[in-house]
Amino acid sequence: MRSFRITAPGIALALFFLFLAVSLPLSLGRSVRRIHAAFRFAGETAYEERARHFGAEYARAVEEIRRTIPKDGVYLLLDGDEEELGGAIWVRFDLAPRRAVFLGFLKDLKTPASFRYPLIRETRWVVIGYAQKPPRLMEGSELLRRLEAGR
Amino acid sequence: MNEVLPSLGGVALFLLAGLGLTEFFPGLRRLTLPSRLGYAYLLGLAVVAGSLYALSHLAKVPLRPPVIYLTFAAPVVAGLIRRALTPWPPLPVPGEGGKRARTGVGGEGSGGGPSKVVIRVIAGLLAFVCLGLFADAVTNPVTGWDGRMTWSTQARYVREEGTVDAEALRNGRWYINHPRYPLLLPVAQVAVLEAFGAEEDRHIFRPLYAALFPAFLLVLGDGARRWAGRVPAALAGLAAAGLPVLTFWQDSGAASAYSDFPLGCFYGAGLVLLLRSRRRVSDAVAAGLLLGAAVLTKNEGFLLAGSALLAALFLLRREGRLRQAARLGAAAALVALALAFFVSWRSEIPERHDEKYSSFVDAGDFWPETFTRIPWLAPVIAREMFIWHRWSLFWAVAPVVFWAGRDGWHGRRRALFWTLLLAFAAPLAVGWGAYTVHWNPLPLIPVTWTRFLVQGSIPLFLLLALALRGALRRMPGRSVPKVLLGLSHRAG
């Protein structure tokens, strides 16, 4: 006859099997979804992948910036958010190996006397990264005009 | 899914190189093919990426296809020659591996062996999770935070310039986060991308990380089978497969491009190799290569590699101490070489855009804060370990299993238990040390503690296997768990 006596190892093993019963189906479910997605999105381009994950506007903006700045090009990178949410870091990956010079927060560029202004004037491209919005590309001179106009 | 063939190819290149290397290590050569594959993949990754890293920095060899093909081919050819020249070693005789394989829970007197059906079902479940990880890797771009911020960004700069001494890293004006982090995994990414001539956006390197999960399971299975038996090994594997933190979690699992899981694999596999073959110097060399790779994977890799060597000291036997010291010395020499290389590489890279550690910490706080901070930090740490989408029920259940299965490390497994416990505690001690000297560790814990647990996951799951062994052995012969697992006495 099978023994149903309650013992410490019995309780431990019952809990362990409960853990497996809860967590394994979740892992297997994730696997099923990933395998399904692999067939569903087969043949996607990198642009389509990026649009699926980060939004069409983000993907379009990245494509545009990449078309404009050559692979061995250089750009100034600004964080457009009010606090550090990583928007600049996020877009830098999609733009690499283009090299970035980080200028900090856009909100800190209020004073025309800032040491950053000459740098912006000398650099052709500026990219402003946001956490919740697509990145913006503009020429250094345009950014200066906007800053000076108080926008 | 247009990434499938080059992705499989990338994994296969490292695997084949590693299989060639295993021909030089008798302890690995004797293993069954599945067990050997786990070590082979890790060795391939360690030696090929490590060699390219060293060639690029020391010999200024460009990281371009000809050199990459040669670096992949050299261990394969050397392995084939070695295999042709050396007779194939005999299979393990019953009484060594055979005895372990036939008996059920943990060897002696545990009753009948596990049912083949049970083992096959478990293997099938594990394979399905691995397939899901691979599907994720070929379908989706890098989405995890550190993968995008650090590791894969560095890989893109290194690939563009064809050198680990890229100007983007060495010139302080360029915006790079953590520019002095070791580059073993980014170099592996570059090797695959260059080998297949992949375009800028292809992510055919992601399966390299996904393939680490089957490697993890195979190494865990090898150690756990040896020390705890087939069924506890299989159950520990299932437990690992059920944890998002090791599998699909984007911020350190095998589905991420973080370096914590690779570090955990190198560290754990090096440790298992050090512990499982305590006589052969050559096998210690294999362990040293894996621990050296740990040094080149993350900054804390050196501390973990040192801990593995220290932990292995626990198992020094009385007889043949000189030989055992030679073994540890061989492994330690490789770790020291890797460290010297790492220091040489990073010495020319200016620090910038990194945490200003010196301004955060005060080493004078270490004592007595290492104790006085426990009541303050322990609840935060506990909360991290009970986050459902990372750990599921694991930390609610594991302590009960460890307590009920404490028989699993009595007797001759006691030293092994302490060794594994020390190895598991090492990354946690590194983390605790950082929290002790940091002026405000509370924001640090949510982004680091789980990763330290991931780094120590192989010793953790080996301990779990030992505990499961202990719990199963204390169950009556015809109890429900044993019947379910096919471990009940078949006769009588």
pLDDT at residue A1 in the model = 47
d(CA B417, CA B419): 5
DSSP state of B479: B
Using a 10 angstrom Cβ sphere, with 0-12 exposed, 13-18 middle and 19 or more buried, the burial of residue B280 is middle
Please provide the DSSP assignment of B170-203 as one string.
HSTTS--SSTTS--HHHHHHHHHHHHTT--TT--
Assigned token pair, B77: 């050819």
pLDDT digits (tens, 9 = 90+) for B266-298: 999 999 999 987 678 888 999 999 999 999 999
Angle between helices B281-295 and B321-346 (to 10 degrees): 30
pLDDT, position B234:
95
User: With pLDDT > 90 as the criterion, what percentage of chain A qualifies?
Assistant: 68
Q: Distance, in angstroms, between B469 CA and closest chain A CA?
A: 10
* Phi-psi sector, A105: left (phi>0), alpha (psi -120 to 50), beta: beta
User: Which of B152, B175, B478 lies at the smallest CB-CB distance from A100?
Assistant: B175
A29 lies within 8 A of chain B by CB: no
Rounded Cα distance between B106 and B408, Å, is 9
In this predicted structure, what is the pLDDT of residue B239? 97
Give residues 117 to 136 of A whose Cβ lies within 8 Å of B: none
- Give the residue from B233, B122, B124, B201 showing the smallest Cα distance to B466: B233
Candidates B125, B148, B396; nearest CB to A24: B125
**Residues near B48 by Cβ (< 8 Å), separated by ≥ 6?**
B13, B14, B17, B71, B72, B75, B188, B191
Cis peptide leading into residue B368 (ω within 30°)? yes
Structural tokens at position B483: 């019947």
Q: Mutual orientation of helices B414-437 and B457-473 as an angle, nearest 10°?
A: 140
| Cα of A147 to nearest chain B Cα, Å | 23
pLDDT at A24 over 50: yes
- Please write the tens of the pLDDT for every residue from A58-101: 999 999 999 999 999 999 999 999 998 999 999 999 999 999 99
| Residue pairs between chains A and B whose CB atoms are closer than 8 Å | 188
Residue scoring higher pLDDT (A122 or B143): B143
* Chain segment A26-48, per-residue pLDDT in tens: 999 999 999 999 999 998 999 99
With a CB cutoff of 8 Å and minimum separation 6, the contacts of B449 are: B381, B384, B385, B431
Residues of B in contact with A26 (CB under 8 A): 242, 244, 392
pLDDT at B437: 82
Which segments within chain A are labelled E, that is strand? 74-79, 99-105, 125-129, 136-139
With contacts defined as CB-CB under 8 Å, which chain A residues touch B238?
Answer: 20, 24
For β-strands A136-139 and A125-129, DSSP reports them as antiparallel
pLDDT number for residue B370: 74
Instruction: Collect all residues of chain B within an 8 Å Cβ-Cβ radius of residue A16.
Output: 235, 239, 397, 401, 468, 471
pLDDT tens track of chain B, all 492 residues? Answer: 567 889 999 999 999 999 999 999 999 998 999 889 999 999 999 999 999 999 999 999 999 999 999 999 999 999 999 999 887 665 554 444 444 444 445 443 344 566 788 889 999 999 999 999 999 999 999 999 999 999 999 999 999 999 999 999 999 989 999 999 999 999 999 999 999 999 988 999 999 999 999 999 999 999 999 999 999 999 999 999 999 999 999 998 999 999 999 999 999 999 999 998 767 888 899 999 999 999 999 999 999 999 999 988 877 766 677 888 888 999 999 999 999 999 999 999 998 866 655 555 566 666 677 778 888 889 999 999 999 999 999 999 999 999 999 988 888 888 899 999 999 999 999 999 888 888 788 889 999 999 999 999 999 999 999 999 999 988 877 776 776 676 665 433
Q: Determine the Cα–Cα distance for residues B489 and B104; give it in Å rounded to an integer.
A: 10
Cβ contacts (< 8 Å) between A35 and chain B: which residues? 131-132, 135
pLDDT, position A140: 84
> Cβ contacts (< 8 Å) between B161 and chain A: which residues?
97
B479 vs A2, A49, A96: nearest CB:
A2
The minimum CA-CA distance between A149 and chain B, rounded to whole Å, is 28
- pLDDT the model gives residue B342: 98
Q: Which of B201, B202, B243, B389 to mutate to test the interface with A (most CBs of A within 10 A)?
A: B201
Q: What is the pTM of this model?
A: 0.92
State whether residue A128 is helix, strand or coil. Answer: strand
Residue A5 has pLDDT above 70, yes or no: no
Q: When comparing pLDDT for A108 and B457, which is higher?
A: B457
Predicted local distance difference test score (pLDDT) of residue B353: 65
Distance from CA of A151 to the nearest CA of B (A): 26
